Amino acid sequence: MNYTQNRKISQITPSTLIVGIDIAKDKHVARAQDDRGIEFGKRLIFENRIHGYQKLLDWVSRHQKGTPKNTCHFWC
């Protein structure tokens, strides 16, 4: 998928949950926010292992169920 930055930004709507991930060697940090930059909950620290990625998916799913957000975009 080869998008320009403007195309990525135009995909964000009020129903979008944005998940930003800071990728490191062993542990990563994720944060969730809406289209206005309001953060949802606390950050998630997860390991670079399969159970860490499952933890991330569960965390995103909980945020989507707790808000009217039906679309999720990941930004690294």
**Of 47 and 64, the one with more pLDDT:** 47
Token digits of residue 59: 């965390």
Query: Among 62, 48, 54, which Cα is nearest to 72's?
Result: 62
Asked whether residue 59 is assigned to any structural domain, the reply reads: yes
pLDDT, the chain, mean: 83
Residues 67 and 49: their CA atoms lie apart, in Å, by 28
Q: What does pTM read for this prediction?
A: 0.75
Q: Which domain holds residue 51?
A: 26-32+46-76
Pairing of strands 39-47, 27-33: antiparallel
Give yes or no for residue 66 having a pLDDT over 90.
Answer: no
Domain total in the chain: 1
Asked whether residue 17 is assigned to any structural domain, the reply reads: no
Residue 45: predicted pLDDT: 96
Asked whether residue 72 is assigned to any structural domain, the reply reads: yes
Asked whether residue 7 is assigned to any structural domain, the reply reads: no
